[in-house]
Amino acid sequence: MGNGADERSGDRAEAARPSNRHSLRARPAGEGPPLLPDAGATRKREHLRINLEEDVTGRGITNGFERYRLAHQALPELALDQVDTAVTLLGKRLAAPLIISSMTGGFAEAGALNRVLAAAAQALGLGIGTGSQRVALAGATTATSFQVRDVAPDVLLLANLGAVQLNYGVTPDDCRRAVEMIGADALVLHLNPLQEAVQPGGNTDFSGLARRIAAVCRALAVPVVVKEVGWGISPETARLLADAGVAAIDVAGAGGTSWSEVEKHRAAIPRAQRVAGAFAGWGIPTAESLRLCRAAVPHLPLISSGGLRTGIDIAMALALGATAAGIAGPLLRAAARSAEALHEELLVLIEQLRIAMFCTGSGTVAELRRPGILAALP
């Protein structure tokens, strides 16, 4: 991947890279994944609490879908019950093009939520991703909080690790362990440079990372997906990832949960709060990131997440070229209320999508992508 100059630059960065100077302790080669302090689980608890209790939506930025309108067809020439919402993603059939996005794990309460989310995905034929499994690589006692195959044997299940951890001791073998740990169908490597930059002890060395992602893609027998965590993927990054061999990209744009806002709530000192708070409106809106990435990597499956709230948002994302959509925050809050509340929220989203397809004369998701179905507002 890349030219000789890129490889030499990566080699220089590798030679200059300090050992794990932040939250991971350095370890000799061949001794397994980097060790995590107990603070790893504490951080995950704080993240979950803040997402459930605080308003951490980005400020002054939207998902961008309000700039578009689907073309209404008063004579759709099909019956509502003929609408088929099914898609295939990463070789798995989804009854509706919806993934319950990566959220949590690493402690008992999170494990209970993951099981509620996974059971709902199984019941409705959806996909689901876990939260980052880095803590579970360091301690088997936390692995059970990510293991949901017994309640979701058939779903598209996505394992998850932070891509930057490949620069801090996590190896392709560790990535394989994360997949095997939960019986996943694919691995998500998430990109979060802004979150790492504003969180205490963040891992901020992203140099040479495309080369390491490419090594994981070559090493694993399952597909590798790369996603942002809420600030969007640029076309330049999309092309880098396509060259690295990823199987799909989740653009995870701005307009929903802002992890800099989450970290602002975690910050212990005013200076850190002010630094994080300045980025409340940062990022590429989801619709714009999706549009740009679709043009940059026309043949690569794209997942659209980041601030989607309705089935109409999902329909517009599909019309812009997404294969599926991902939703996290609203589903997490519903699951925290009850399994019934989560099931109801998902049914509403799927029915909204079905009706949007019907009213645009789209019997299938593929028909949602026909020319002229989506108009940009002036």
In this prediction the pTM is 0.89
E strand residue ranges, the chain: 68-70, 87-89, 92-94, 98-100, 127-129, 156-162, 186-191, 224-228, 248-250, 302-305, 324-327, 374-376
CATH number for the segment(s) 42-66+91-352: 3.20.20.70
Instruction: List the beta bridge partners of residue 187.
Output: 159, 224
Question: Stretch 295-317: mean pLDDT, rounded?
Answer: 98
pLDDT tier at 1, thresholds 50, 70, 90: very low
| Residue ranges per structural domain of the chain | 42-66+91-352
Which helix or strand (DSSP H or E) is residue 44 part of? helix 39-53
d(Cα 6, Cα 244) in Å, to the nearest integer?
Answer: 13
Burial of 217 (0-12, 13-18, 19+ CB in 10 A): buried
pLDDT tens-digit map of 12-65: 334 334 333 333 333 333 334 444 445 567 888 889 898 999 999 999 999 999
State residue 16's pLDDT score: 39
* pLDDT, position 140: 64
| 249 pLDDT above the threshold of 60 | yes
**Pairwise CA distance, residues 252 & 241, whole Å:** 15
Q: Is 127 helix (H, G, I), strand (E, B) or coil?
A: strand
How confident is the model at residue 40, as a pLDDT?
A: 65
Is pLDDT of 142 > 90?
no
Read off the pLDDT of residues 191-221 as tens digits, 9 standing for 90 and up: 999 999 999 899 999 999 999 999 999 999 9
Structure confidence by residue, pLDDT tens digits, 121-141: 999 999 999 999 999 998 767
Q: If residue 264 lies in a helix (H) or strand (E), which one and from where to where?
A: helix 259-266
pLDDT value at 8 more than 50: no
Indicate the SS3 state at residue 356: helix
Mean pLDDT of the chain: 90
Distance, in Å, from the CA atom of 113 to the CA atom of 105, rounded to the nearest integer, reads 8
